Amino acid sequence: MEIKDPFLGLFSSVNNKCLTIYKEWCRVKVSKEFHRIECNSVHYPIRKEEVFMMKELKPIKEGKVREIYDNGDSLIMVATDRISCFDVILNNVVTKKGTVLTQMSKFWFDLTEDILPNHMISVDVKDMPEFFQQEKFDGNSMMCKKLEMLPVECIVRGYITGSGWASYKENGTVCGIKLPEGLKESDKLPEPIYTPSTKAEIGDHDENISYEQSVEYLEKRFPGKGEEYGAKLRDYTIALYKKCAEYALSRGIIIADTKFEFGLDENGNIVLGDEMLTPDSSRFWPAEGYEPGHGQPSFDKQFARDWLKANPDNNWELPDEIVQKTIDKYLQAYELLTGKPLK
């Protein structure tokens, strides 16, 4: 079957008969023996083995992992099976990864509604337009409120690791924050620290900034609101981390660090957006066997990061073995945190 643009005077061909397509794309309804094409209230039967192609929607924005679709007064956020490390999209597909990200975000959004509202409306594709009621969108799609996103990535660190550990070894600070002497790699910090960064476009790197710089940055975008928004982002970030880290520890997982993103709703209220506490945005360590003084095994994409570091001529592509180990860790983390396997 051939589908072409009706506004160019073209047509679709069904059983060698021409079917004129008017202003709306036809929908297929399934009967016992036939599909039925419904177009402007006129019904055209076609045999079941023939395929009718619906108009494909295009995302209005694509991130490293997510695709965003406009749904009128809401958005549809689809977590793909892409994987990124060091702000680069790798040349791999990690099957079921997008579903883990969406369902884990839903779990945390539900858990933290008492701290502040979030942008989630539904993860059930039956609540979404017909285009999303396809297998490839089931489980990895979230319908969300539209927000004006605040241009600060809100990072919180409860343990010293990664780039924070490298900075501490050099000058005793992490993102300009002075820390106690004598800390070992992977030590728990006396209190979680807030280390914001600017939100980079695809292909660019996020830039670490101080709290004071975040206030200035927000003031330029929202005159008269920089100090208020900066303080609220910091306080919400710490509050979310503390509650979720305590819960995760009770389930056998240490959340070493993570990041959040926030936006403003139509009334100017700050709302939690994007994803929340997924293996993409966080470092998850097993509590069992935790021992400061060295790097820790992880439930997140640290597996992939470590392999890329050890193999600099990688062409940004992971071997199948590392891909499988990565998704196994994602699934294990989901089951530990939620108490149920991923459907």
DSSP-derived letter for residue 312 is T
pLDDT reported for residue 23: 31
Q: Is residue 207 part of a domain?
A: yes
Angle between helix 97-111 and helix 226-250 axes, rounded to 10 deg: 100
Q: How many domains does one find in the chain? A: 3
Q: Which residue, 121, 145, 169, sits at the end of a domain?
A: 145
Cα(142)–Cα(89) distance, rounded to whole angstroms? 22
Shared-domain flag, residues 129 and 187: no
Residues across the chain: 343
Shared-domain flag, residues 154 and 141: no
Distances (CA, A) of 193 to 14, 113, 242, 287: 63, 22, 11, 20
Shared-domain flag, residues 20 and 69: no
Which range of residues forms the domain containing residue 107? 61-145
Q: Could you count the other beta carbons within 10 Å of the beta carbon of residue 127?
A: 13
Distances (CA, A) of 172 to 165, 167, 178: 9, 7, 6
Tokens representing residue 6 in the block: 């009706």
Shared-domain flag, residues 194 and 222: yes
List the CATH number of the domain containing 107: 3.30.200.20
Strand partners, 142: 77
Shared-domain flag, residues 23 and 65: no
Q: Is residue 241 part of a domain?
A: yes
Tokens representing residue 71 in the block: 């749904």
Instruction: Using DSSP, state whether 124 is helix, strand or coil.
Output: coil
Instruction: Using DSSP, state whether 91 is helix, strand or coil.
Output: coil
Q: Is residue 65 part of a domain?
A: yes
Distances (CA, A) of 74 to 164, 275, 294: 37, 16, 45
Q: Is residue 243 part of a domain?
A: yes
Shared-domain flag, residues 136 and 227: no
Which residue's structure tokens are 């396809």?
A: 134
Tokens representing residue 16 in the block: 């060698």
Instruction: Using DSSP, state whether 133 is helix, strand or coil.
Output: coil
Closest listed residue to residue 100, CA positions, set 302, 320, 278: 278
Q: Name residue 161's amino acid.
A: T
Shared-domain flag, residues 125 and 197: no
pLDDT reported for residue 39: 44
Shared-domain flag, residues 43 and 104: no
Q: Is residue 1 part of a domain?
A: no
Q: Is residue 127 part of a domain?
A: yes
pLDDT reported for residue 41: 45
Closest listed residue to residue 278, CA positions, set 342, 231, 232: 342
Q: Is residue 301 part of a domain?
A: yes
Q: Half-sphere exposure of residue 233, counting CA atoms within 13 Å on the CB side?
A: 32
Cα(164)–Cα(180) distance, rounded to whole angstroms? 13
Distances (CA, A) of 223 to 151, 211, 213: 14, 17, 14
Shared-domain flag, residues 179 and 322: yes
List the CATH number of the domain containing 228: 3.30.470.20
Under a CB-based contact definition with an 8 Å cutoff, are residues 80 and 95 in contact? Answer: no
pLDDT reported for residue 5: 38
Phi first, then psi: what are they for 277, rounded to 5°? 50, 55
Tell how far CA 269 is from the center of its chain: 22
Shared-domain flag, residues 260 and 155: yes
pLDDT reported for residue 28: 40
Shared-domain flag, residues 117 and 219: no
Q: Is residue 219 part of a domain?
A: yes
Shared-domain flag, residues 260 and 280: yes
DSSP-derived letter for residue 56 is P
Tokens representing residue 321 in the block: 């073995």
Under a CB-based contact definition with an 8 Å cutoff, are residues 180 and 190 in contact? Answer: yes
Residue 252 backbone class (left: φ over 0; alpha: ψ -120 to 50; beta: rest): left
Strand partners, 88: 85
Closest listed residue to residue 205, CA positions, set 64, 76, 324: 64
Which residue's structure tokens are 């990072």?
A: 155
Mean pLDDT of successive 10-residue stretches along the chain, which has 343 residues:
37 35 36 41 44 69 94 96 92 96 98 98 96 96 97 97 95 95 98 90 70 96 97 98 98 97 97 95 95 93 89 96 94 96 91
